[in-house]
Amino acid sequence: MGSSQGMGSEPTQEQTGFRLISRRALIAITAAVWLVFVLLLAAYLAVDRRKEMRYAEENARDYAQLLAQHAGRTMQSVDSSLRLVIAQYDKLRAEGRTDGASLNQLLVQAKQDQPSVRSMTIFDSRGLLIGDSESPTPRQLAIADRDHFRVARDKPNAGLDISVPLRARVDGRWAIYLARGLRDIDGNFIGVAVASVQPEYFANFYGSFEQIEGLARIALVRGDGVILAAYPQAENEIGSRFQRLFPDSILFDSKVTPNDLCVIVELDRNALLTDWRGRVVLLAAVALLSGLLLLVLARQVARRINEADAAHRAMAQAEQRFRDGLSAMDDGFAIFDADDRLILCNARYRDCFPSAAQLLEPGVDYQVIMRAVSSTDLDLQGEDIASWRRRRIDYRENPGRGAFTFRRRDGRLLAITDRPTSDGGRVSVVSDITEREDRAAALTRSNVLLQAVFDGVIQGIWAFDEDRKLVAWNRQVEVLLELPEGFLRRGMDLGEVQRFGAARGDYGPGDPAEHLARRRRETATHALHNIERVSPSGRIVLARGGPMLNGGFVSTFTDISEQREREAALESAHALLRAVFDSVTQGIWAFDRNGRLVAWNETMGKVLDAPPGLLCEGRSFREIQMVAARRGDFGPGDPDDLVDNRGSLERARQPHLIENELADGRTIQIRGGPMPGGGFVSAVTDITEQKRHEREVEAQTVRFKAIFDNVLDAIITINESGGIESFNPAAERLFGYRAEDVLRRNVKLLVAEPHSSAHDGYLRRYLQTGERHVIGRTREMTARRADGSQIDVDLSVNEYNLGGQRLFVGILRDISERKEVERMKREFVSVVSHELRTPLTAIAGALDLLGTGVMAKQPGQTERLVEIARNNSHRLIRLVNDILDIEKIEAGTVALTLEPILVEELIDGAVEANRAFAAGFRVELEIGAIADAQVRGDFDRLIQVLTNLISNACKHSPSEGTVTVAVERRGDQLHFSIKDQGPGVPEEFRSRIFERFAQADSSDRRRKGGTGLGLSIAKSIVERHGGRIGYDSTLGAGAVFWFDLPVWGGAMRPVAPKRAAAVTRRGTILHIEDDPEIVELLRQSLAGIAELIAASSLAEARLALAEERFDAVVLDIGLTDGHARELLPVFDRLSPAPALYVFSGQQLDAEIAGRADLVLVKAQEGLVELVELITDLLARERPE
Amino acid sequence: MTELGHVLYVDDEPDIREIASLALAGVGGLRVTLCSSGAEALTEIPQALPDMILLDVMMPMMDGPAVMAKLREDPATAGIPVVFLTAKAQAAEMQSYLRLGALGVIAKPFDPLALADQLKALWRRRPA
């Protein structure tokens, strides 16, 4: 409202002027800016040009210096070569070797390392070529007419002469000649040494500076201005005087010392400034463009100014309309100035107080108007006019009190609202509120309701007007700010509330006045605010608010103590979660949709053994994978490929379970899945231990499986309904079923009747009652095999639980053999008992009869009874002995004394022992061919075997028959045979001939006095010796009982002498042996240390001993042409006598045994010992 | 009831045959016929028709039970009581002989002084 006063005036000329000035200024400023810009560009270009030029000049100067140094060095170098030539030439001349070839050699050498020189030559005093670097035979060439020759000839102290470029006489190419005169010791001119330098050498060198290519020309110039070389080089330029090449150029020259030369660098300014000109054009374009742009901008701004101008005019019109409107409005309206004088009022205002209407002219004092208001205008309702006036003035002076209402005499209710203006004046508005008041009554009700709602909200709300007066609030504000009830009232100043708060200490400890001042400053602007404050009782109240559209501000207050508590609780829950997250044994991490790490726990780092710093926020999954791949966690290969193959993208989309063996040998398991909203989370567990455990379990399973498969007992598992669950290989063998044929079938299949049919019942009863009949015990039963046969088995059944299923495992052992053994044992006991009782019966009976004396009467009867008793006693003794024997032998309790036995000895012993027995049967014993070999065995027991077989043969031989004993070597076995001429073995008896008490005809027993155990004993003994026994028989044509025993030492192998290294001399050994295999064996064994001479007979042996001296003689006893003892006299005559070792399988006589150094048995052990003995013998000897 | 008079004894052991003969004839006063094998007994018995046959069990070629089985096949000899005299005298074996229909079993070694009385007692107890 305050601004309306300003707008009340007419639009002034001043405002229009502002518009004109601003337009002009705009154009001026724009032009000025553009001008400054252009000037700056121009300045920049000028500086740039100078800089460019200076830089180029500096460079050119540098180049000139550099190239002058180069030219000087080159000339100097060529000069030094020339000096060398001169010195060498002097030497050659002194030696008289000035021929073309020698000079050529010298010049070629001098030309070396001189890239600038094309050729080097020497001319004689007449100017004729005598030496040339290019040819050993100098061409005919004369240079007496050349300047450089003349200078060298005519000026003894001329030094180096550099010619102008000349066309060479040889090829017409340009050349610069460097010449020095040659003088003899007396100073007489004898010739000139010339080096031909190519101008191209310099031109090429100058051309190699790319930096100045196109910008400059370089020339090497003689002191007289003649160009020697130039780049760029024009053909006609060389040899002519130097002239500028470029129309606008700068020259830089540098002297070449010490020669009278100079290097000129000609800088082409045009070329140099090409770039700069480009920049000028570019910047000119920029200036132009920017000018255009500014023009456009200025036009735009000008249009905006026009628009603003139009707005001003519109505003002025609006003001006029306001004035018009004011006079037309229903409300009365008056404005007073700071001195409370009326400025203007409308007609309505006049109508309000008819009695004062004529007074209401601008300039009239309000007090005058007031005094003019009389009771005739008003319905005072008993109030006197003075009081009414006071009340009115009071309202007017305290606008905060609201509208002043009064009733006019005509019954209309009027309300005057007073407001101060910005210049200290007042505005009064008078409204006829008669109708509004009626409506207000209705509104009040809804207002009460609204206030109730307002009060009912949890938040406190208050609103202050632009003067910071409270205009609205609810009860909750007082509650939340803990203000006394009713403390807030309409129109209350915010400052008052703040004062209260400051005094109470709401803004913290300290001086309340300072707090108050600060608060005032803070709330001075009705800005958006969002602050937390703590109420006196400690509740946290959030105050937030902002300006209202019509000025003033509104704030809401919310008690956020609980929210804060919840946040704190949430915070601690989060911390707890974090602690849990960090302390779980699994590593956990999460990646966002871009594969960037967003969360992980400490364990993850440990599980992955990640390098420090690898796991950090935002680290890409791929980067981490790469570290692992490089470390070898994904196996060998290119890390990039490995990571690509890991399919990290797939991981983000679907649940995954991966196992990975790391490079350090640990195994980890990664389990995870996508996160809602993208990305994925994985948990990584170190399952090394678990894996190890699994492997152990696996190994255990394999072991159990191996046991299950290889155990000899049949193992069958059945379930509760009798179905076979497992059937091991031993069970397959026992029952003849294959596992796949019986699995899942009922076990009664394997049980013999009657148990087969009853088996289901057994199982059912056990499951119902728990009564155990079989389980946990071992018992015998009869099983049924696949072919229907029955077999006795031991069965033990145990119950176990596997994953809630009750299973029964049965272990079955085939006991048919044991049963058979038991049967045999029973039978044996029965037979033995019978066999013992039989002679006992005779003995006891005879003795009983003798005792009675009944028989004494009859003659001879007593003697007969005594004889019966004695015969049977003897028989009983033999029987008992044999039974004890066989029991002991079979039980293995007889300790066999094993020793090498000569077969011959064995047979002799046995035959001799049985000769008398055989004679009793009138049978002749004959010894057949006996192999020369040994067996290893118990001598007495083998004699027993032979005795049993021989006596058996005798018993079954006819009178005057012959029993032949022979031993034949069959491979590594010795075949003993005892042949008789008896009736042979009856057919029906053959199967049990070696059984105990088995005799073909039991009457024989009486007749022959056998016990029926002999063959059985023989069989046992032979088998204990690792042999086998048998017979060959043709009925009626006798029988041959035989047994085989392994040859002792039969299979000998060559041995290697252990101490062969100690033998320093190769010895000579005589081996007297008729078996070539034994000879070869010993020869091989001694191959490294001795030469073996073999003698297969006594005759050969004698010959060898006569002809040669031997270190040792190895002797076999039985030879084809006699016994070894016949050689003893020969040995006696030898001096020195060789060592004598007997190596034989035969029996020794005392003579040889006494003479020999050692006797060894022909067996592997003997061979080893023999070889060692010979080694020692040879090692011991120290030859002279 | 007639007294036991004639006993035929079969045994392959000559010494025992001799002792038994003395025990039965000399001590017991019985008439004794001796046979050394089952085959001999089978030819002798139908002619001799003894009151009682005393049989050894373990004999070569044909054992005691085999001889008894042959005798049972011939009606003429089927009724002659058989007593086994055997060294295979374990309880189970003796039971098995009785089950074959033997009148009795006497174990070896036997008492030569009581043998005849034992046979006579068995004879008296034989079934009618």
Q: Which residues on chain B are in Cβ contact (under 8 Å) with A836?
A: 87
CB contact under 8 A, B19 and A846: yes
Range of the domain at A790: 711-814
Q: Are residues A554 and A494 in the same domain?
A: yes
**CA-CA distance, A1020 to B40, in Å (whole number)?**
37
The answer to whether A978 touches B36, Cβ cutoff 8 Å, is: no
Q: Which residues on chain A are in Cβ contact (under 8 Å) with B93?
A: 830
Does any domain span residue B118?
Answer: yes
Look at chain B and report how many structural domains it folds into.
1
Strands in A465-616 per DSSP E: 470-473, 529-534, 540-547, 553-559, 587-591, 597-600
Q: Are residues A1038 and A1067 in the same domain?
A: no
The answer to whether B72 touches B65, Cβ cutoff 8 Å, is: no
**CA-CA distance, A193 to A161, in Å (whole number)?**
11
A1033's CB contacts (< 8 A; 6+ apart) are A984, A985, A990, A1039, A1040
Confidence of residue B103 (pLDDT cuts 50, 70, 90): very high
pLDDT tens for A801-827 read 877 788 888 888 888 888 877 887 787
A387's CB contacts (< 8 A; 6+ apart) are none
Please give the full DSSP string across A832-883, using - where no structure is assigned.
Answer: HHHHHHHHHHHHHHHHHHHHHTGGGGSTTHHHHHHHHHHHHHHHHHHHHHHH
Does any domain span residue A40?
Answer: no
CB contact under 8 A, B60 and A864: no
**CA-CA distance, A561 to A571, in Å (whole number)?**
15
Q: Are residues A906 and A1046 in the same domain?
A: yes
**CA-CA distance, A818 to A822, in Å (whole number)?**
6
CA dihedral (A361, A367, A372, A376) in degrees, to 10, reads 120
Instruction: Give the burial string for A1076-1103 (b: 16+ CB within 10 Å, else e).
Output: eebbebbbebbeebbebbbbbebebbee
Q: Which amino acid is at A635?
A: G
Q: Which amino acid is at A587?
A: G
Confidence (pLDDT) at B120 = 93
Q: What is the ipTM of this complex?
A: 0.90
Does any domain span residue A981?
Answer: yes
CB contact under 8 A, B108 and A840: yes
**CA-CA distance, A431 to A418, in Å (whole number)?**
11
Q: Are residues A1043 and A907 in the same domain?
A: yes
The answer to whether A588 touches A683, Cβ cutoff 8 Å, is: yes
The answer to whether A952 touches A945, Cβ cutoff 8 Å, is: no
Interface of A with B (CB under 8 A): 829-830, 833-846, 848-849, 852, 854-855, 861, 864-865, 868, 871-872, 999, 1001-1003, 1006
**CA-CA distance, A747 to A729, in Å (whole number)?**
16
Q: Which residues on chain A are in Cβ contact (under 8 Å) with B37?
A: 1003
Q: Which residue has the tokens 């005795």?
A: A947
Look at chain A and report how many structural domains it folds into.
7
Kind of pairing between the strands at A117-124 and A216-222: unpaired
Interface of B with A (CB under 8 A): 12-16, 18-20, 22-23, 26-27, 36-37, 58-61, 86-90, 93, 107-113
Q: Are residues A880 and A1004 in the same domain?
A: no
Q: Are residues A807 and A821 in the same domain?
A: no
Question: In angstroms, what separates the C-alpha of A982 from chain B's closest C-alpha?
Answer: 20
Does any domain span residue B30?
Answer: yes
Kind of pairing between the strands at A404-408 and A216-222: unpaired
Q: Are residues A988 and A1026 in the same domain?
A: yes
CA-CA distances (angstroms) from residue A63 to A30, A229, A264?
49, 16, 9
Q: Domain of A965: which CATH number?
A: 3.30.565.10
**CA-CA distance, A237 to A224, in Å (whole number)?**
15
Confidence (pLDDT) at A1002 = 46
CB contact under 8 A, A854 and B27: yes
The answer to whether A275 touches A52, Cβ cutoff 8 Å, is: yes
Does any domain span residue A478?
Answer: yes
Does any domain span residue B46?
Answer: yes
Preceding amide of A547 cis, omega within 30: no
Q: Compute φ and ψ for A1006, nearest 5 degrees.
A: -65, -40
Question: Within 13 A of A152's CA, how many CA atoms are on the CB side?
Answer: 31
Q: Are residues A859 and A806 in the same domain?
A: no
Q: Extract the tokens encoding A873.
A: 């006693």
pLDDT tens for B73-98 read 999 899 899 999 988 877 888 888 88
Question: In angstroms, what separates the C-alpha of B60 from chain A's closest C-alpha?
Answer: 6
CA-CA distances (angstroms) from residue A518 to A499, A507, A512?
11, 10, 10
Does any domain span residue A43?
Answer: no
CA neighbor of A164 nearest in space, from A220, A226, A73: A226
pLDDT tens for A937-964 read 888 889 989 998 998 898 888 888 999 9
Q: Which residues on chain A are in Cβ contact (under 8 Å) with B112?
A: 845, 848-849
Confidence (pLDDT) at A6 = 37
Q: Domain of A869: which CATH number?
A: 1.10.287.130
Which residue, A566, A593, A608, sits at the end of a domain?
Answer: A566
**CA-CA distance, A466 to A936, in Å (whole number)?**
135
CA neighbor of A653 nearest in space, from A676, A635, A669: A676
CA-CA distances (angstroms) from residue A547 to A465, A471, A495?
9, 14, 17
Q: Are residues A1176 and A1067 in the same domain?
A: yes
Q: Are residues A1148 and A1175 in the same domain?
A: yes
Does any domain span residue A967?
Answer: yes
Which of A833, A838, A999 shows the shortest C-beta gap to B90? A833
Confidence (pLDDT) at A146 = 86
**CA-CA distance, A947 to A940, in Å (whole number)?**
10
CB contact under 8 A, B87 and A864: no
**CB B55: neighbour CB atoms within 10 A?**
27
Strand arrangement, sheet containing A724-727: A724-727, A714-719, A805-814, A790-802, A778-784
CA neighbor of A1166 nearest in space, from A1020, A1052, A1029: A1052
pLDDT tens for A619-643 read 888 888 888 888 888 878 888 887 8
Q: Which residues on chain B are in Cβ contact (under 8 Å) with A835?
A: 87
Does any domain span residue A1149?
Answer: yes
Chain B residue with minimum CA distance to A861: B22
Question: In angstroms, what separates the C-alpha of A1073 from chain B's closest C-alpha?
Answer: 57
A1106's CB contacts (< 8 A; 6+ apart) are none
Q: Domain of B21: which CATH number?
A: 3.40.50.2300
Range of the domain at B76: 6-122
Q: Which amino acid is at A577?
A: L
Which residue, A751, A783, A814, sits at the end of a domain?
Answer: A814
CB contact under 8 A, A1002 and B112: no
Which of B37, B87, B93 shows the shortest C-beta gap to A841? B87
Which residue, A387, A413, A439, sits at the end of a domain?
Answer: A439
Does any domain span residue A321?
Answer: no
Does any domain span residue A1105?
Answer: yes
- The parts of chain A modelled with pLDDT lower than 50 are 1-20, 1000-1007, 1183-1184
Q: Extract the tokens encoding A742.
A: 């019986």
A516's CB contacts (< 8 A; 6+ apart) are A495, A498, A499, A502, A507
Q: Are residues A1101 and A1044 in the same domain?
A: no
**CA-CA distance, B65 to B98, in Å (whole number)?**
11
Chain B residue with minimum CA distance to A1001: B60
Q: Domain of A635: which CATH number?
A: 3.30.450.20
Confidence (pLDDT) at A4 = 39
A496's CB contacts (< 8 A; 6+ apart) are none
Sort A525 into a burial class: Cβ within 10 Å, 0-12 / 13-18 / 19+.
Answer: exposed
Q: Compute φ and ψ for B29, nearest 5 degrees.
A: 70, 25
Q: Extract the tokens encoding A1141.
A: 């070792």
Q: Compute φ and ψ for A167, nearest 5 degrees.
A: -80, 125
Q: Are residues A337 and A410 in the same domain?
A: yes
